[in-house]
Amino acid sequence: LLGVRDVHADHAASHIGKAQGIVTCLRATPYHCTRQKVFLPMDICMLHGVSQEDFIRCKQEKNVRDVIYDIASQAHVHLEHVR
């Protein structure tokens, strides 16, 4: 957009975009759950023994919080790559 031609800037922008996408998905989770939809990675949910129904019913149990933490940690990893 600004005419920057730098592989390092491209790499940083890629990680920032991934982090932003993950955060956006997490922030939208309560909204989507009210509409009976869950867009979180099922492999992470299954790792913690959480079903889509747990999110739809707005359960606040530790394993549900652990899923959110693991997904948020992935966004944090992308931000650390940028730094």
Is 64 contained in some domain? yes
Is 1 contained in some domain? no
Residue 76 above 90 pLDDT? yes
Q: Exposed/middle/buried for 4, CB within 10 Å: 0-12, 13-18, 19+?
A: exposed
Is 29 contained in some domain? yes
Average pLDDT value for residue range 69-76: 97
Q: For the chain, how many structural domains are there in total? A: 1
pTM: 0.84
What integer pLDDT is reported at residue 9 of this predicted model? 83
| Average pLDDT of the residues of the chain | 93
Domain that holds residue 13: 7-81
Is 2 contained in some domain? no
